[in-house]
């Protein structure tokens, strides 16, 4: 067993690095273990991050790493394969390279995996011309033709939202249900077109339907299925649960209580792994606030 850390943070994205910075400045011994697969890696830039608007995701993380290490925080590239409970609460964190470290507390900021529909061209253009969040990408496709890929009952809602950024919106029903009468009326009032037919491909010319029709659009919007990255927590009995929005299931997440606490004492979560709707700056803020709660947990243990 190598040295014991006050906190081992699993995941080196915005939430994890913000927490590491906060805890390092609080004079805690911190280790960040990062697998190097951030969710927003395909995107060209981070948006709505005050002071860092349009910064490439990799550059933002490099800046964060440097700041964490400047206060004595440690960062290790690697994959955590399991977290085992000890007494205390204390934990053993196992890495894929065979190394194990001890932790007084564990913070999980591993984020999510986006599962995309099996349509040729979708994965290839993900993050550039295949988009999911208008607040992240809407400005970049403003006033351009955009299509919404109908996958769920939320597709009409998506179409109405994206209409804020461009007047040229088409709802492709694909496998999603037809909009209800009241939804059809709202879509019509906003000038949103509806096209029936299964989408079989997407390329630089637009979306292609099964009957050969080409819908010329510059961007395709879809709602991916989101899955929490949490396999390493299985030995603790922590497993992802369904994530629902407006009564519809969109994937899984790790639920948390106030301050990011989980049902396992000493294990905390922050960022997209628990809050799938959080933007980059919101995930970073969650890392800071969770780090504060986690530090107070340690303070109270030491005082006892």
* Residue 1 pLDDT > 70: no
Mean of pLDDT values over 186-191: 97
Calpha distance 148→137 (Å, rounded): 14
Mean of pLDDT values over 275-284: 95
Calpha distance 106→231 (Å, rounded): 15
Task: Return the pLDDT at 57.
Answer: 95
Calpha distance 57→42 (Å, rounded): 9
Cβ contact 286:272 at 8 Å: no
Top-confidence residue, 89 or 134: 134
pTM for the model stands at: 0.93
Calpha distance 86→183 (Å, rounded): 54
Cβ contact 89:266 at 8 Å: yes
pLDDT band at 87 (very low <50, low <70, confident <90, very high): confident
Task: Return the pLDDT at 2.
Answer: 53
What CATH number does the domain located at 4-114+225-303 have? 3.50.50.60
CATH fold of the domain at 117-221: FAD/NAD(P)-binding domain (3.50.50)
Q: What is the pLDDT of residues 71-83, one digit of tens each?
A: 999 999 999 999 9
- Which tokens is 280 given? 């980059």
* Residue 304 pLDDT > 70: yes
Q: Based on the number of CB atoms within 10 Å of its own CB, is 145 exposed (0-12), middle (13-18) or buried (19 or more)?
A: middle
Mean of pLDDT values over 128-156: 94
Domains in the chain: boundaries: 4-114+225-303, 117-221
* Residue 19 pLDDT > 60: yes
Listed in sequence order, the DSSP H helices in the chain are 14-25, 57-70, 134-137, 155-162, 181-189, 280-303
């Amino acid at each position: 067993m190598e040295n014991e850390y006050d906190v081992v943070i699993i995941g080196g994205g915005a939430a994890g690095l913000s927490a590491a910075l906060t805890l390092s400045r609080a004079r805690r011994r911190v280790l960040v273990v990062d697998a190097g697969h951030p969710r927003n890696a395909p995107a060209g830039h981070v948006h709505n991050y005050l002071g860092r608007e349009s910064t490439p995701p990799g550059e933002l993380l490099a800046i964060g790493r440097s700041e964490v290490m400047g206060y004595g925080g440690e960062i290790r590239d690697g994959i955590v394969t399991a977290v085992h409970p000890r007494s205390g609460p204390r934990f053993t964190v196992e890495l894929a390279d065979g190394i194990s470290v001890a932790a007084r507390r564990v913070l999980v900021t591993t984020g999510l995996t986006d599962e995309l529909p099996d349509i040729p061209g979708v994965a290839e253009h993900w993050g550039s011309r295949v988009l999911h969040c208008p607040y992240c990408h809407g400005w970049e496709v403003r006033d351009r033709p955009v299509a919404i890929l109908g996958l769920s009952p939320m597709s009409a809602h998506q179409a109405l939202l994206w209409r804020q950024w461009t007047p040229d919106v088409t709802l492709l029903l694909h496998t999603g249900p037809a909009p209800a009468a009241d939804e059809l009326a709202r879509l019509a009032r906003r000038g949103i077109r509806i096209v029936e037919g299964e989408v079989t491909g997407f390329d630089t010319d637009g979306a292609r339907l099964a009957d050969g029709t080409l819908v010329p659009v510059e961007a395709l919007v879809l709602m991916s299925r989101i899955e929490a990255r949490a396999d390493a927590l299985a030995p603790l009995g922590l497993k992802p649960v369904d994530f629902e929005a407006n009564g519809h299931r969109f994937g899984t997440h790790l639920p948390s209580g106030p301050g990011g606490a989980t049902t396992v004492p000493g294990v905390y979560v922050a960022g997209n792994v628990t809050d799938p709707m959080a933007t980059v700056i919101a995930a970073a803020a969650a890392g800071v606030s969770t780090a504060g709660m986690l530090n107070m947990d340690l303070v109270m243990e030491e005082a006892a």
